[in-house]
Amino acid sequence: MLDLRYRSLDYHEMDGLLHLGGTILGATNKGRFAAKTGHGEVRRIPDEICEQTKRNIDQLGLQALVCIGGDGSLTIAQQLFERGVPVVGVPKTIDNDLEATVMTFGFDSAVACATDALDRLRTTAQSHHRVMVLEVMGRYAGWIATHAGIAGGGDVILIPEIPFGYESVCAKIAEREREGKKFTLIVVAEGARALGGGFVETTGDQDREARLGGVGMVVAAEVEKRTGKETRVCVLGHLQRGGGPTTFDRLLCTRFGARAVQLIADGMYGYMVALRPPDTVAVKITEAIGRLRTVPVDGDLVQTGRALGISFGD
């Protein structure tokens, strides 16, 4: 939008897009457009950037801008809208942490990847009597870890919403040993924190959001030290963000896309499409941003995990 590098997505150009992940346009929410930095601090996009965007939209003769993304991208969308850009939003992030929608697209595909990783890690864990730690993404929300952890038969799930203690994690490993289960699968969300501890992160650029990652290594080292059991770590990283989307995600993004076009036709700028099963609905973008949707600690998901004997490290 800033440098007028564009591609017309006409009827023929859209062929073969459905089975791809990522962005074919190369759009980004970082750099000059960034509206979020650090641990979610909101930054006002400079006026000249918004003005340039508006000029370019006019020059291209666009009726509206469809902003597809998570909290960072939709915070940009809202700021553009407040400064006169006709915008509609579409919720897309693997983190599933947007308010106002039951699900974002990308999440189901990331969970499928993490669940598959757990299935694969189980083989080595079981064969060689090891503790295997799988670190997954999700930023400040434990949705990927909780969904994949339960679906993939994890024994311990560590999420940002529930600070964990090593005594509790090691007690679960010991309990399994007593029952003759000589291996343990631990799923740790990148934003998980030990009780009283901070995020594990790489020092980042001040113009972008903090880069979380590395907690899996920390957990593995401490567990090995305390239990004496061989403990290995696998960081799933960007594998979760690539490859073919699941059927669910293909359907969800298609429904969202059709609804977004309807919003433009109805002139509903400043709105985002959202999933409220069984329907897609329109909500104000402001309802989706500003506060992250995290895993409810007393909700059905965590209760289901606990009922199965999964430890959340608390």
Active-site residues: which are they?
Answer: 95
Does residue 35 touch ligand F6P according to CB under 6 A?
no
Nearest-approach distance from CB 266 to ligand F6P, in angstroms: 30
* x-marked contacts with ligand F6P along 95-114 as a string, rule CB under 6 A: x-------------------
Cα separation, 277 vs 273, whole angstroms: 12
* x-marked contacts with ligand F6P along 223-252 as a string, rule CB under 6 A: ------------------x-----------
Nearest-approach distance from CB 137 to ligand F6P, in angstroms: 3
Residues that bind ligand F6P (rule: CB under 6 A) add up to a total of: 11
Does residue 210 touch ligand F6P according to CB under 6 A?
no
**Residue closer to ligand F6P (CB basis): 292 or 301:** 292
Contact 97, 114 (CB under 8 A): no
Which residue type is seen at 171?
Answer: A
**From 36, 130, 139, 147, residue interacting with ligand F6P (rule: CB under 6 A):** 139
- 157: which strand partners? 187
**Residue closer to ligand F6P (CB basis): 12 or 238:** 238
Neighbouring residues of 212: CB distance < 8 A, sequence distance ≥ 6: 139, 190, 191, 199, 200, 201
Which range of residues in 84-92, 111-119, 132-140, 170-178 is near ligand F6P by CB under 6 A? 132-140
Does residue 211 touch ligand F6P according to CB under 6 A?
yes
Integer CA distances (angstroms), 277 to 103, 109, 120, 188, 274, in order: 10, 19, 32, 29, 9
> Residues in the chain, how many?
314
Which of 89, 199, 179 lies closest to 135, judged by CA?
Answer: 199
Nearest-approach distance from CB 130 to ligand F6P, in angstroms: 26
Nearest-approach distance from CB 70 to ligand F6P, in angstroms: 5
Does residue 273 touch ligand F6P according to CB under 6 A?
no
Q: At 220, give phi and psi (nearest 5°).
A: -60, -45
Q: Outline where the chain has alpha helix (H).
A: 47-60, 71-82, 107-128, 143-151, 166-178, 215-227, 247-265, 285-288, 300-307
Nearest-approach distance from CB 217 to ligand F6P, in angstroms: 16
Footprint of ligand F6P on residues 63-102 (CB under 6 A)?
Answer: 70, 93-95
Which region holds residue 270: left if phi is over 0, alpha if psi is between -120 and 50, else beta? left
Does residue 212 touch ligand F6P according to CB under 6 A?
yes
Contact 288, 295 (CB under 8 A): no
**Position closest to ligand F6P via CB:** 137
Q: At 123, give phi and psi (nearest 5°).
A: -55, -50
Residues near ligand F6P (CB under 6 A) are 70, 93-95, 137-139, 190, 211-212, 241
